[in-house]
Amino acid sequence: MRQFCVVPCMIAVAVVLLLSPAARADQFTFQNAVVDLTASSNTVTVTIQNTLTNAQVESVAQNISALYFQVTGYTGSGVSLSSSSGQTTDIYSGTGTLQGVTSTGWVASNFGSGLTLCVVCAAPVQNQTAPQMTIVGGTGSGAYANANPSINSNGPHNPFLVGTVLFTLYVPGVTADYTFSNVVVQFGTSATPPTQVPEPGSIALLLSTAATIFGGMVIRFRKPS
C-alpha cells in the first residue's frame, strides 16, 4: 500500500512547490550605486553598494544617504526596518580602517505614495544618526588619497558604511508578485527627495477636470455668436 502512495505524494509536493510564489528580485544600476530589491511575503530585502574605488572617492557628495522607491500595487502603511547590517570604516589621515559589522542606523518609512530607506531623511521622516553612516565607495581599508575634508578626518561624517549594505523591511501586504518602480538613490548629506509622481487615478481625474473646464470655456466663447 505504501508503494502506491509514494508517487502521488511526490507529485502533490511538486505541485505545491511549483505553485508557491518565489521571491522576486530586481537590480537597479546608477552612476556609482547598485541597488537590489527583493519582494517576498510581507518583506522587502534591499542591498545597496557604492561602486566607487578608493581612488575615485573624493567627496561626501558621492556617498549614498537614502533610497526612495515604489512597490507596484502597494498603498498600505506600517512599514518598518526589521534589521540592517553593514561594514563600517573610519577614514582619517587619508587612510581607511575597517571597524567591523554593525547595525546601520538607517530607518524605513512610508514616503508619499512610496517608501524610503534613509540615514539623511526628508521631512517628515527623521533620523538622528545623520550625517554619519552614509555609504562610501571603495573597500574601506587602505589609502583614500583623493578624499577631501568632507570625508578625510571629518568627525561628524565618520564612520561610514562600506561594501554591500543589507536591509530587511517589514512591508505588510507585499507579496512576491509585486514589482518595483521609480527607484531613486540620494547622494550627499542634504535630503533631496524625488518629486512625487501622481497616481494613475489622480492623472485621470486631472485630465477629466481639465477637459470639463476647457469645454466650459469653449461654450462660453461661442455663446455670443
CA angle at residue 29 from 28 to 33, to 5 degrees?
A: 115
Q: What is the pLDDT of residues 177-199, one digit of tens each?
A: 999 999 999 999 999 999 864 44
pTM of the model: 0.79
Helix segments in the chain, DSSP class H: 2-19, 200-222
* pLDDT bracket for residue 142 (50, 70, 90): very high
CA angle at residue 208 from 76 to 71, to 5 degrees?
A: 20
Query: Does residue 138 contact residue 53 with C-beta atoms inside 8 Å?
Result: yes
Residues with Cβ within 8 Å of 95's Cβ and at least 6 positions away in sequence, in order, are 142, 143, 144
- For residue 44, which of 88, 78, 87 has the smallest C-alpha distance? 78
CA distance 48 to 66: 10
pLDDT of 76? 77
Q: Helix or strand or coil: residue 2? A: helix
Other Cβ atoms less than 10 A from the Cβ of 158: the count is 19
Query: Does residue 116 contact residue 125 with C-beta atoms inside 8 Å?
Result: yes
CA distance 122 to 193: 6
CA distance 158 to 172: 34
Q: What is the pLDDT of residues 23-72, one digit of tens each?
A: 778 999 999 999 999 999 999 999 999 999 999 999 999 999 999 999 98
- Length reported for the chain: 225
Other Cβ atoms less than 10 A from the Cβ of 82: the count is 14
pLDDT of 17? 32
CA distance 154 to 132: 10
- For residue 112, which of 27, 32, 42, 198 has the smallest C-alpha distance? 198
